[in-house]
Amino acid sequence: MTATAEDLIARTAPFLETIRNKTAGEELEAYLNTHHGPGDPVWDDLAAIIRDGVEQGWAANVEVEGPHYRRSRIAQPSEELSWFSITAVYMDSVEEFRGEYHQHPYGEINMVIPLDEGAQLGGPRGWQGAGWTAPEPASHHYPEVRGGAVIALFFLPAGRISYDIDAPDAS
């Protein structure tokens, strides 16, 4: 059977219901990695569905900076999704690669699905292989990838993300 965006939404909704009143941050990140990391049915099911979505072209299908950096909003915030949005990002680079600098006004819950062994996603608290990150409200960063291809399936409270923030001066 071929997975669809509707399958992803249906599988995500009960999971988001269980975390809807938790605030993104280090505590939630630890909880997710302990209780819903690789090997847990939620993580495994969502990873399989989103991998299919990227392969089939309905997820992470809008080029941001060429075919190695793509994203797409799969679902807008809704009551069914406990007022979270769902977005998929595909990033691929053996060398470290930086995506668009952005801020999470209400935080972010981010599922990291490496497609290549050893691939990692970098965020505010460092590098993450298969598992979860949960940058806290008002956090901001460049998403980074190294070691191959990664899908980041992220859930934003109220769908809020801001790209109109200035990156810190590199000097």
- E strands along 65-157, which residues? 69-75, 84-93, 97-98, 102-104, 109-114, 120-123, 126-128, 131-133, 139-141, 144-146, 148-157
Which has the minimum average pLDDT: 19-23, 64-68, 93-97?
93-97
Q: How confident is the model over 66-82, as a mean pLDDT? A: 94
CA–CA separation, 60 and 153 (whole Å): 9
pLDDT, tens digit (0-9, with 9 covering 90-100), for 138-154? 888 888 899 999 999 99
Greater model confidence, 88 or 164: 88
Query: For strand 62-63 and strand 69-75, is the pairing parallel, antiparallel, or unpaired?
Result: antiparallel
Structure tokens at 99: 């995506």
With a pLDDT cut of 70, the percent of the chain lying above it is 98
CA–CA separation, 71 and 138 (whole Å): 21
Contact partners, residue 120, CB within 8 Å, separation at least 6:
112, 114, 127, 128, 129, 145, 146, 147, 150
Of 23-32, 98-107, 120-129, which has the strongest mean pLDDT? 23-32
Which has the minimum average pLDDT: 46-50, 142-146, 161-165?
161-165
Q: How confident is the model over 99-126, as a mean pLDDT? A: 89
CA–CA separation, 107 and 124 (whole Å): 11
CA–CA separation, 43 and 127 (whole Å): 19
pTM of the model: 0.90
Structure tokens at 5: 């965006």
Average pLDDT, the chain: 91
Greater model confidence, 3 or 141: 3
Cβ–Cβ < 8 Å for 154, 91 = no
Contact partners, residue 130, CB within 8 Å, separation at least 6:
37, 38, 112, 113, 114
The answer to whether residue 39 scores a pLDDT higher than 60 is: yes
